[in-house]
Amino acid sequence: MKLLKKRLLKLFNKIFYSRWIFIERFLLVNLILISFFSVIQIQAQTLEEYLKIAAENNNGLKSSFYSYQASLKKIEQVGSLPDPQLSFGYFIKPMERWMGNQIADISLMQMFPWFGTLSAAETEAALMAKSEFEKFNSAKSKLFYEVKKNYYELYLTKRNISITSENIEILRTLERIASNRLKGDPVSQSISSNSISRNKSNSISSQNNMNDNNMDMNSDNSLTGQMKNNNMNGSMSGSMTVMNSNNSMIDILRIQLEINDLENQLELLKESYETLAVKFNSLLNRKTDLNIDIPDSITTAELSISLEDIEENIKSQNPMLKMLNNEEKAFAAKEKMNRKMSYPMVGLGLQYSIFEKRSGSSMNPSNMIMPMATITIPIWRGKYDGAIDEAIIKQNQFSELQKETENQLLVRYKNIIQNLNDAERRMLLYGTQTKIVNQTYNLLLTNYSTAATQFEELLRTQQQLIDYRFKSIKAKIDFNLSIAEIEMLIGN
């Protein structure tokens, strides 16, 4: 029995321990997964998410939205009737009437503007609120464009940093190749070999003169000419070797100069990236030191509408044009309201008179209710006519301003289309040029390794390759910025 209990207890502990280990590992795995996906969610912020953050947090956009909300509240103000007037009069000495002594009067009066005045005022306020809403939309479109522009500038700077770093590494590789050429230069061996050849030629000539005194003058001249040729060839070979050595050293110095310039440029680019990051975070109204997720590559942006419909969409959907149009309509409603205000106002009310019994009279007095009506007489027409004329002039002002703004927007649109087409052409051109220059550079690098290529040509081609790579990225950024500017003009 005890043995059975021990076995059961051992089995229970084993099962419990196994389950606990399983639960612990399960919780640990879940915690790791949650942390992983949280990090992914934080690090995988896209441009669209940054736009959403900017729309929710930007102070300038919030201010514009509050202005719109305040304009909505004005509709309630102008659409209400004037406050009624309540008056009370008390007779210090009661006024004697036939039915008794009047001791007090209470009156209530409500003024009513001319028919249609309040509705015209509400229409004006509603149109001004619409104008504020379009102003808010315009601010939002400009904010989105600024966020996109700053985002693309960050990407461009990041790629420029990457390209510059790659360029420095390439130059260091060229420096190692030039150093290897310099270390493997057989200058001393060539000079020693030439000296040995000259000494060997001299000894052979002396021995021949001692053993054969009958050698004719032609043989001596022939041997002497051969020795001169050998000496000249040795001198030329030594000179060429020294020249190659000097060229390799010059190549190394030029590479070091180029590396120093690029390292200085790299530090400037890193500082520029930090400045752009601060500006970007400020647009999002968050801490300036927060990390910004910039991808290693971006896709080419696409328009939400066809090119043929852009011009009409600008005329009908641009927030600034809609704002000016609403303001023109608002002053038309204000003109109507001012005309209504030049008509009389009507007042309706009641007066309640309180009486008391007169001494010595047997008649019990009763209080009196008297309906009342009043009307204003607007005989001073100057202020009304001036208000009407002001509203008409304002309509003309905003009508002309709307036309001028439309013309400027269309001119800007044409410039954007020109820049868009230019960027598209440059994307194709620099893509092709990069491939060609890359092939050329690889060939020159192979030839330089075998001492068959001038270093200046290799360095110039390498700089040209880097330049085309940067220009290709810049062309894509310009293309996307043109798309973003078009989206801003049509209020998307």
CA 184, chain centre distance (Å)? 53
The phi, psi pair for 125, rounded to 5°, reads -65, -40
Angstrom distance (rounded) from CA 305 to CA 447? 52
Q: Round to whole Å and give the CA distance between 310 and 425.
A: 21
- d(CA 156, CA 466) in angstroms, rounded, equals 14
Same structural domain for residues 329 and 372? no
**Can you give the pLDDT at residue 360?**
66
CB atoms closer than 10 angstroms to residue 448: 20
* Residue 430 domain boundaries: 45-80+127-186+272-343+380-489
Under DSSP, is residue 227 helix (H, G, I), strand (E, B) or coil? Answer: helix
Q: Which of 377, 398, 423 is the last residue before a domain boundary?
A: 377
- Please state the pTM of the whole predicted model: 0.73
Please indicate whether residue 51 or residue 92 has the higher confidence score (pLDDT).
51
Spatial separation of the C-alpha atoms in residues 311 and 67, rounded to whole Å = 30
Residue the block writes with tokens 């001198």: 235
Q: Which residues contact 477 (CB under 8 A, 6 or more apart)?
A: 152, 153, 155, 156
Helix (H) or strand (E) holding 88: strand 85-96
Q: What CA–CA distance (Å, rounded) separates 418 from 400?
A: 27
* CB distance 104 to 88 below 8 Å: yes
Per-residue pLDDT tens for 323-343? 999 999 999 999 999 999 999
What does the pLDDT average to over 243-247? 55
Instruction: Specify whether 417 is located in the same domain as 456.
Output: yes
Q: Are 388 and 328 in contact (CB under 8 A)?
A: no
β-pairing, 101-112 vs 368-375, is unpaired
Please check whether residues 61 and 159 belong to one and the same domain.
yes
Do 315 and 280 fall into the same domain? yes
Do residues 214 and 207 lie in contact, with contact meaning Cβ atoms separated by under 8 Å?
A: no
Residue 5 scores a pLDDT above 80: no
Decide which of 36 and 418 is more confident. 418
Please tell me the predicted confidence (pLDDT) of residue 463. 87
Summarize pLDDT for 409-451 with one digit per residue, the tens: 999 999 999 999 999 999 999 999 999 999 998 888 787 666 5
Q: Give residue-wise pLDDT tens across range 391-405.
A: 999 999 999 999 999
Cα angle 440, 441, 447 (rounded to 5 degrees) comes to 95
Q: Is the separation of the CB atoms in 479 and 424 below 8 Å? A: yes
- The domain that holds 143 is classified in CATH as 1.20.1600.10
Look at residues 34, 42, 35 and name the one whose alpha carbon lies nearest to residue 291: 42
Between CA 61 and CA 142 the distance in angstroms is: 10
Split at pLDDT 50, 70, 90, the class of 286 is very high
107 assigned to some structural domain: yes
Residue 235 lies in a domain: no
* Spatial distance between the Cα atoms of 159 and 166, rounded to a whole number of angstroms: 10
Percent of the chain with pLDDT over 90: 57
Q: 307-317 and 319-341 are packed helices; what angle lies between their axes, rounded to 10 degrees?
A: 30
pLDDT at 207: 39
Answer yes or no: are the C-beta atoms of 223 and 203 closer than 8 Å. Answer: no
Whole-number pLDDT of residue 195: 35
| Contact status, residue 485 vs residue 416, Cβ threshold 8 Å | yes
What is d(CA 191, CA 195) in angstroms, rounded to the nearest whole number?
6
How many structural domains comprise the chain?
2
Among residues 486, 442, 457, 67, the alpha carbon closest in space to that of 301 is found at 486
pLDDT digits (tens, 9 = 90+) for 98-125: 777 888 999 999 999 999 999 999 999 9
> Same domain for 370 and 385?
no
Q: Are residues 296 and 308 in the same domain?
A: yes
| pLDDT, tens digit, 9 for 90 and up, residues 67-100 | 999 999 999 899 889 999 999 998 888 877 777 7
Instruction: Indicate if 304 and 388 belong to the same structural domain.
Output: yes
Percent of all residues in the chain with a pLDDT value above 70, rounded to a whole number: 76
Task: Name the DSSP letter for residue 83.
Answer: P
What mean pLDDT is reported for the chain? 80
Position 322 scores a pLDDT of 96
The average pLDDT across 250-270 equals 91
Q: How confident is the model at residue 210 (pLDDT cuts 50, 70, 90)?
A: very low
pLDDT of residue 343: 93
Is residue 74 domain-shared with residue 135, that is, in the same domain?
Answer: yes
pLDDT in the model for residue 133: 97
Residue 165 lies in a domain: yes
